[in-house]
Amino acid sequence: MEINYILFFVLALIAEIIGTVSGFGSSILFVPIAALFFDFKTVLGITAVFHVFSNISKIVLFKKGIDKTIFLKLGIPAILFVIIGAVLTQFVPQKESELLMNILLIFIAIYLIININKPIIKNNKNLIIGGASSGFLAGLMELVVR
């Protein structure tokens, strides 16, 4: 195996371990590392695969700590809205889709900045809205990647 691939896999593993232990997400480290080895579209594709295996391993490792009600209330809306977002990319032109996504992210950022000291309460409404908005934005990202 070529030394570059070995180096890539070692760095990807380190990024995943640091991301998991720290809680801020492995993509923050993984994407810049992968960009050293591959073009941007390939990095996005590898990141998607990386997330699938990362999440499966976290579920296996931490299954006793998973709150199934939170998992369902956050996960089901996320899955439904990622499908809705992906379907919408067939009907909404890319520029408008990017604009919509940017506007949503700006509003979320403004809300979080204004409410910096206000914790987000773990209730059904916030879990469902969080899952739905996360899924919807992920679905819209399909168009940006294409």
Question: With contact defined as beta carbons under 8 Å apart, do 142 and 86 qualify?
Answer: yes
| Cα–Cα distance for residue pair 34/43, rounded to 1 Å | 6
Q: What is the pLDDT of residue 59?
A: 82
Specify the length of the chain in residues. 146
Q: What is the pLDDT of residue 80?
A: 92
b/e map 100-127, b = 16+ CB within 10 Å: bbeeeeeeeeeeeeeeeeeeeeeeeeeb
pTM: 0.59
pLDDT tens profile 20-49:
777 666 777 788 888 889 887 788 788 878
Q: What is the pLDDT of residue 145?
A: 54
Q: Which residue has the higher pLDDT, 99 or 136?
A: 136
Question: With contact defined as beta carbons under 8 Å apart, do 70 and 48 qualify?
Answer: no
Interhelix angle for 27-35 vs 40-61, to 10°?
Answer: 150
Instruction: Give burial (CB, 10 Å; 0-12/13-18/19+) of 96.
Output: exposed
- Please name which of 35, 13, 37 lies closest in space to residue 26, comparing C-alpha atoms: 13
Give me the residue spans of the domains in the chain.
3-64, 67-145
3-state secondary structure of 82: helix
Q: What is the pLDDT of residue 27?
A: 73
pLDDT-derived band at 144 (thresholds 50, 70, 90) equals: low
Q: What is the pLDDT of residue 73?
A: 92
pLDDT tens profile 93-122:
777 777 777 787 788 788 878 888 888 788
pLDDT tens profile 57-98:
878 888 787 788 888 898 899 989 988 988 887 887 777 777
Instruction: Give burial (CB, 10 Å; 0-12/13-18/19+) of 46.
Output: middle
Q: What is the pLDDT of residue 77?
A: 94
